[in-house]
Amino acid sequence: MKIVVCIKQVPDTKGGVKFNPDGTLDRAAMMTIMNPDDKAGLEAALRLKDQYGAEVTVITMGLPKAEDVLREAMAMGADKAILVTDRVLGGADTWATSQTLAGAIRNLEYDLIITGRQAIDGDTAQVGPQISEHLNIPVISYAQDIKVDGNSVIVERQYDDRYHVVKAQMPCLITALGELNVPRYMTPGGIFDACEAEITVWGRADLVDVEDSNLGLKGSPTQIAKASDKVRKGAGEVVNLDPTEAVDYIVGKLKDKHII
Amino acid sequence: MDFTLSKKHEMARALFREFAEKEVKPLAQEVDETEVFPRETVEKMAKAGFMGIPIPKEYGGQGCDILTYAMCVEELSKVCGTTGVIVSAHTSLCCDPILTYGTEEQKQKYLPDLAAGKKIGAFGLTEPGAGTDAQGQQTKAVLDGDEWVLNGSKIFITNGKEADVYVIFAVTGIVEKRGRKVKEISAFIVEKGTPGFDFGTKEKKMGIRGSSTYELIFTDCRIPKENLLGALGKGFAIAMHTLDGGRIGIAAQALGLGEGALERTIEYTKERKQFGKAIAGFQNTQFQLADMATKAQAAQLLVYKAACKKDQYQKDHKTAYGVEAAMAKLYASEMAMEVTTKAVQLHGGYGYTREYDVERMMRDAKITEIYEGTSEVQRMVISADLLK
């Protein structure tokens, strides 16, 4: 089985968020981590590899420094890594990103593509399903459990209060929830190997069946007007009342603010 | 000379730090209080490859260097001295002598399980009458047919009851050296469960209370002849060489304890207010922190240098690292004692309570000046080299 896992290097919010003067994220200046949902997707792929045997390829689109997240994935157990980087791909929204990744994945053989549900820097949850559309394969989103059954996958698709069990024939794409699993640690030996390993670097010229008009900032229908850090909330108010009084107190407050 | 860590060492440090913060730190206080060996943590470390860091891949290890191993013990010890010494004793005192002196059969038999953490290793040299004076050994091994018969006891054995594989030293004869009769010591590999191999009392210790420190008792314990480790009669040299490497592990443990106490103290002094301002605002605090950080940094350089020297030895089997290891252990352990003591002082009355980590760290630090060669022994090793 061949599995492709799409991962993204995202800002580590613990290290503080920095912006460019034009309001976009200054990714080069921020501490970074592997997007948590993507890491869960990678762990799911590695578990399938442990269980059934598989070749796991990780792919990311980003700045050259996104190589770090690929090496981390290899230190966890991924077999191959591909970095898609090119100045013309910069400023991509979800549409241009999914076009780029689909264009890169067309070079690869795969049975399964796994992406995280969404990235913590954009929270759109669009890239995974869009890739499946471009590649014309089924998508199962919000996976909380993945099993392989012959040429099919059986996935528990999470809803708030229930889950659906969905079966799809491979090749298909699955988007993984962070809650899917607890990702393994890298191993020291894995780190040493990953730092020696070759990473395939692709640019615009390597993308298959993608129009220039669908790439980078120019190919992005979404234009970011302004981005900002989380607004700090006030300290709030703590009151100690019995439940009946507490309900009256809260309702009173909501009425004061004309919320109800 | 470049003091920058390579990418792989930076990544390894980040891994050890994340693991220590997530898996080890939350249990450190409980491990100390209950004196229970952190078995689950060891299993997690085994899964992450921490139990076989410098063991070559051909024997199931991670194939990394001694510097990486030292950084692992350092980062673990920043949050829990017990966890640091479990890895150190296992790796330096059991895996390393088997790797260095074992036959190919012994390496194939023992190292894969040890490196995978399926089995834990320990080392038995110290006896009631033989601590620093290793010649005072009383445990004897007598060859009887195809078996060695061991009789005697070992004390203060780290990983004592939890280990599966033990490197044990015993007297195998008396030889004349320069007109004096001296004991001929040999090394053996003994497995848990061997009839005649039993455990005595568990030590009640001041610090590193979760590490299982036991007496080992051998009563007509018969082990196969092929469990002799290294050449017959070369046990003393094997023990000394093993301890040279072990000292790097303990130096790394001491380094971590000092650094961990410093980190806690920086956080605390920024929060703790007296006379209307954070105590970090007082010059005494600032100067104390500056001294603590400078000494911790000096210790780190000595530890990393000794680790790199041992790495060089692993490649050429020539480079000497015993003196560097002794200096690293001497300085790092005394730094750890000084820094943790100052950390408690800067925490004031709270630092004397078990609610704060620095109290445990100060107790943990003391042993680093004693085991695997006291500070006095390290001074003997260093001065002997200077005056040779």
In this structure, is the dihedral angle defined by the CA atoms of residues B281, B284, B287 and B288, taken in order, positive or negative? negative
Taking the alpha carbons at both ends of chain A, their separation in whole angstroms is: 56
pLDDT at A103: 97
Contact (Cβ atoms closer than 8 angstroms) between residue A175 and residue A101: no
Q: Is residue A210 part of a domain?
A: yes
Angle formed by the axes of helices B235-271 and B66-79, nearest 10°: 50
Nearest to A188 among B15, B18, B47 (CB): B15
Average pLDDT of the residues in A59-73: 95
**Chain A residues whose beta carbon lies within 8 Å of the beta carbon of residue B6:** 195
Q: φ and ψ at A143, to 5 degrees?
A: -70, 130
Q: Do A188 and B47 touch (CB under 8 A)?
A: no
Average pLDDT of the residues in B326-333: 98
As a whole number of angstroms, the distance between CA B127 and CA B147 comes to 23
Nearest to A188 among B7, B47, B53 (CB): B53
Q: Identify the closest residue of chain A to B46 by CA–CA distance.
A: A187
Q: Longest Cα pair distance anywhere in chain A, in angstroms?
A: 67
As a whole number of angstroms, the distance between CA B199 and CA B213 comes to 10
Window from A23-32, A183-192, B109-118, B278-287 with minimum mean pLDDT: A23-32
Average pLDDT of every residue of chain B? 96
pLDDT of residue B312 exceeding 80: yes
Give the domain extent around A58: 2-214
- Taken as a whole, chain A contains a residue count of 260
**Chain A residues whose beta carbon lies within 8 Å of the beta carbon of residue B47:** 184-185
pLDDT of residue A69 exceeding 90: yes
Enumerate residues 6+ apart whose C-beta is below 8 A from A244: none
Q: Is residue A258 part of a domain?
A: no
Residue-wise pLDDT for B75-131, tens only, equals 999 999 999 999 999 999 999 999 999 999 999 999 999 999 999 999 999 999 887
Strand ranges in chain B using DSSP code E only, listed in sequence order? 121-124, 140-144, 147-157, 165-177, 180-191, 197-202, 214-224, 228-229, 273-274, 277-278
Q: φ and ψ at B342, to 5 degrees?
A: -65, -35
Q: Identify the closest residue of chain B to A190 by CA–CA distance.
A: B62
As a whole number of angstroms, the distance between CA B331 and CA B5 comes to 22
Average pLDDT of the residues in B7-12: 96
pLDDT class for B4, splitting at 50, 70, 90?
A: very high
The CA-based dihedral angle spanning residues B142, B148, B154, B160, taken in that order and rounded to the nearest 10 degrees = 180
pLDDT at A155: 96
pLDDT at A227: 73
The question of whether B33 is a catalytic residue gets the answer no
Question: And the tokens for B295?
Answer: 């000494």
pLDDT at A238: 86
**Chain B residues whose beta carbon lies within 8 Å of the beta carbon of residue A72:** 11
Q: Do A189 and B7 touch (CB under 8 A)?
A: no
Residue-wise pLDDT for B167-215, tens only, equals 999 999 998 888 888 899 999 999 999 999 999 999 999 999 999 999 9
Q: Identify the closest residue of chain B to A67 by CA–CA distance.
A: B7
What three-state secondary structure class fits B284?
A: helix
Q: Is residue A50 part of a domain?
A: yes
Residue-wise pLDDT for B218-254, tens only, equals 999 999 999 999 999 999 999 999 999 999 999 999 9
**How far is B113 from chain A, CA to nearest CA, in Å?**
16
Q: Is residue A254 part of a domain?
A: no
Other C-beta atoms closer than 10 Å to the C-beta of B213 total 24
**Chain A residues whose beta carbon lies within 8 Å of the beta carbon of residue B63:** 189, 192
**How far is B114 from chain A, CA to nearest CA, in Å?**
15
pLDDT of residue A112 exceeding 90: yes
Q: Identify the closest residue of chain A to B72 by CA–CA distance.
A: A188
Q: Report percent pLDDT > 90 for chain B.
A: 95
Residue-wise pLDDT for B126-180, tens only, equals 999 887 787 789 999 999 999 999 999 999 999 999 999 999 999 999 988 888 8
pLDDT of residue A109 exceeding 90: yes
Q: How far is CA B181 from the centre of its chain?
A: 32
pLDDT at B133: 80
Q: Is residue A76 part of a domain?
A: yes
Strands A172-176 and A163-169: unpaired
Residue-wise pLDDT for B35-61, tens only, equals 999 999 999 999 999 999 999 999 999
- Please name the helix (run of DSSP H) or strand (run of DSSP E) that holds residue A82, with its range, or none: strand A80-84
pLDDT at A223: 80
CATH of the domain at A76: 3.40.50.620
pLDDT at B54: 98
Q: Which of the residues A47, A192, A195, A196 would you substitute to probe the B interface, choosing the one with the greatest number of B C-beta atoms within 10 Å?
A: A192
As a whole number of angstroms, the distance between CA B159 and CA B153 comes to 16
What three-state secondary structure class fits B91?
A: helix
Quote the number of domains for chain A.
1
Q: Is residue A100 part of a domain?
A: yes
Q: Is residue A238 part of a domain?
A: no
pLDDT at A204: 96
As a whole number of angstroms, the distance between CA A176 and CA A174 comes to 6
Q: Identify the closest residue of chain A to B20 by CA–CA distance.
A: A185
Contact (Cβ atoms closer than 8 angstroms) between residue B211 and residue B364: no
Q: Which of the residues B10, B13, B15 would you substitute to probe the A interface, choosing the one with the greatest number of A C-beta atoms within 10 Å?
A: B15
**Chain A residues whose beta carbon lies within 8 Å of the beta carbon of residue B15:** 75, 185-186, 188, 191
A114-118, A244-248, B345-349: range with highest mean pLDDT: B345-349
pLDDT at B61: 98
Q: Which of the residues A65, A186, A199 would you substitute to probe the B interface, choosing the one with the greatest number of B C-beta atoms within 10 Å?
A: A186
Contact (Cβ atoms closer than 8 angstroms) between residue B359 and residue B261: no
Window from A117-126, A167-176, A199-208 with minimum mean pLDDT: A117-126
Q: Do B48 and A185 touch (CB under 8 A)?
A: yes
**Chain B residues whose beta carbon lies within 8 Å of the beta carbon of residue A186:** 11, 15, 48
Contact (Cβ atoms closer than 8 angstroms) between residue A116 and residue A37: yes
Q: Is residue A27 part of a domain?
A: yes
Closest to A74 measured CA to CA, from A181, A195, A176 = A195
Q: Do B72 and A185 touch (CB under 8 A)?
A: no
**How far is A239 from chain B, CA to nearest CA, in Å?**
26
pLDDT of residue A191 exceeding 80: yes
**Chain A residues whose beta carbon lies within 8 Å of the beta carbon of residue B72:** 188
Residue-wise pLDDT for A202-260, tens only, equals 999 999 999 999 999 899 998 877 777 767 777 788 889 999 999 999 999 999 988 88
Nearest to A191 among B15, B47, B57 (CB): B15
